[in-house]
Amino acid sequence: MGTASTANNSANKLKRWGPACLILAGFGLAVLIATGKPKPQAGPLPPKTAPQVEVSTAKVQPRHLQIESQGTLESRREARLTAEVSGTVIATSDHFARGQALNKGDLLVQIDPRDFEIALAEASAQVADARQLLATERGRARQARREWRDLGSQEANDLFLRKPQLASAESALAAAEAKLQRAKLNLERTTVTAPFAGVISQVDAQLGQFLPVGGKVGTLTDTTQLELKLPVSSRELKLMPSVADGIDTHILAEDGSRLLHTRITRLQPTADPQSRFHYLIGDVQLTDNSISL
């Protein structure tokens, strides 16, 4: 009983004086910190160490700028061939087929020439008649001048000297010769040939078909004079030299090998409204139909 009573007294004392002891200990620690810190010393501050940096002088010098772009290679011209004379197609070339390469002057379509051959013969006969009439009038004019001279007079009117008749005969001959030239030209036009080397991209005329004047024959696309169009952004365009001075361009094959070389010499006036890209344009000249479009 005595031991338990002593333990209870100790616990009661701890509860009574414990908080006060903690307060006194904290106050003492605060006083120690406040009075124990070092006093500031008067004097100059220690020098600061400057940072170590490397300096290089910028130099302006030209650099080779390479810009990659993927564009299109298109033909500069495409001819829609039409019949200049009317008639029935009596023959077509074996090469007159879509995708077929042709050389300049190759036959495409032959229109029935018989009506035009008859017209040529008639025009030739009219020229012969007009020449005969002119020769006759010239002879009569010379005879009239001799007759008037034999009369001993220096004055004669144009009608007596047959000047109007001579002028009419000369005009008739000129008209007959023009008609002959037209007949020859129409006969030549019955044969439709390729005006330049290229590839047939459209076939409209068929064997046995009647073609009116202006009737569609086909479409020929030139594959020797091409146009390269490359899209570039506004930022890339600012980095490029002037297009007027020419920009070297190399066209690469799929394996990376160089296929063609050209120079960009033109710029499309306005940017594409959707992509906002500018298009550089260069001409590509080929010697044969080695590239198919």
Q: What integer is the mean pLDDT of 64-69?
A: 77
Find all residues with CB under 8 Å of 209, minimum gap 6, and list them.
88, 89
Contact 123, 209 (CB under 8 A): no
Rounded to the nearest 5°, which phi and psi values hold at 73? -115, 110
Task: Work out the mean pLDDT of the chain and round it to a whole number.
Answer: 80
Q: What is the pLDDT of residue 89?
A: 95
Q: Once rounded to an integer, what is the mean pLDDT over residues 32-53?
A: 70
pLDDT band at 43 (very low <50, low <70, confident <90, very high): low
CA atoms of 136 and 126, how far apart (whole Å):
15
Query: Would the pTM of this model clear 0.75, i.e. be above it?
Result: no
Measured between alpha carbons, how far is 201 from 78 in angstroms, rounded to an integer? 9
pLDDT digits (tens, 9 = 90+) for 72-103: 878 888 999 999 999 999 999 988 999 899 99
Tell me: pLDDT of 176 over 80: yes
Q: How confident is the model at residue 216 (pLDDT cuts 50, 70, 90)?
A: very high
Q: Which tokens in the block code for residue 238?
A: 């600012």
Read off the pLDDT of each residue in 211-217 and give the average, rounded to a whole number. 94
Provide the pLDDT for residue 4: 47
Q: At residue 183, does pLDDT exceed 90?
A: yes
Separation between Cα atoms, residue 182 and residue 178, nearest integer Å? 6
Asked if residue 1 has pLDDT above 60, the reply is: no
- Residue carrying the six token digits 């061939």: 81
SS3 content of the chain, % helix, strand, coil (to 5): 35, 25, 40
Supply the pLDDT for residue 150: 62
Q: Are 246 and 264 in contact (CB under 8 A)?
A: yes
